[in-house]
Amino acid sequence: MTGGNVTMPDHDRLDLTEIVDFDRYPIAEPGRPASRIVGRCRAELAEDGACQLDGFMRPAAAQAVLDEAEMLSSKAFRTDATHNAYFTKVTAGIPARDPRGVRLHTSKRALGYKYWGASSPLRILYQWDGLVTFLKDVLELQGLYRDADPMGACSVMFHDDGDELGWHFDNSEFAVTLMLQDCVEGGEFEYVPAIRAADDENFAAVRAVLEGAREPVRSLRADPGTLTLFRGRYSLHRVTPVRGTTARVNAVLAYASTAGHRLTPLNRRLFYGPDED
């Protein structure tokens, strides 16, 4: 499954063993070694709503992806917008205490998948069927497919000085991210696990967090190379404002339960610019 046109020149293609630390995470080996990692991830997702694999991508590979991202950064599209936590339209008829009426702020730059060269460690990792199998096992899904969108399949997000990701819920069941560079100050990933459920929106608790309640809030910090799995549909989450000249840079790996999934033209324009519909 391809991700669009390649614009970067090819260099020597890395072997997967140069990208993934299989010594720490033997997910390519059938049987007990992989099962232990899968079991650990399932337990952490059930307990915390998130699972982190520190050093999943080897340092040199993570640095190579970061270097390529910086070379391509002029192609990244900047978003600066207000929204509510549900990414739904804020209307005048929303009750005063309904959290759907609270406006939040998000600003960032997004670099779409089509710009990544065929020999990029990020593209090689994303195209590896073994990663799809591992994620499917961890998430206990019948089917899992790489996203087919030329921009949104596997993109890189830059949060510069003052940028943030406002409190929100994901539309998808889970998210997979790979940290490439952490900022010096700010940029904390904060979340409240399972604050709502399929049959209970729990609006009062959501509103309390949006108004500043801190007791239920947890925080995750990730070093470069860390792969994070997160259940974001029912867990409220955000990235706090970044401070300083060092950007927070991470990749977002997109998957779907059905083959051929793509962003709508509207969402592609929103996240990646008007020329991408």
Q: SS3 of 116, please?
A: coil
The strand pair at 165-168 and 242-243 is best described as unpaired
Residue 127 has pLDDT above 70, yes or no: yes
Domains present along the chain, CATH in parentheses:
34-276 (2.60.120.620)
Average pLDDT over residues 107-117: 96
d(CA 211, CA 93): 20
Over residues 79-93, the pLDDT tens digits come to 999 999 998 888 888
User: Running DSSP on this structure, what letter comes out for residue 200?
Assistant: B
Where does 49-83 have alpha helices with state H? 59-72
Over residues 166-176, the pLDDT tens digits come to 999 998 889 99
d(CA 51, CA 177): 11
Query: Given this model, what pLDDT does residue 9 score?
Result: 35
* Per-residue buried b or exposed e for 233-262, using 16+ beta carbons within 10 Å of the residue's own CB: bbbbbbbbbbeeeebbbbbbbbbbeeeebe
Residue 8: band (very low, low, confident or very high) from pLDDT cuts 50, 70, 90: very low
Q: Which residue has the tokens 């033209």?
A: 265
Over residues 21-38, the pLDDT tens digits come to 999 999 998 777 789 999
Query: Given this model, what pLDDT does residue 158 score?
Result: 98
Cα 15 to chain centroid distance, Å, stands at 24
The region that residue 233 occupies, defined by phi over 0 for left and psi between -120 and 50 for alpha, beta otherwise, is alpha
Over residues 177-208, the pLDDT tens digits come to 999 999 999 999 999 999 999 999 999 999 99
Over residues 218-235, the pLDDT tens digits come to 999 999 999 999 999 999
Query: Given this model, what pLDDT does residue 206 score?
Result: 98
Lowest mean pLDDT among 36-40, 47-51, 266-270: 266-270
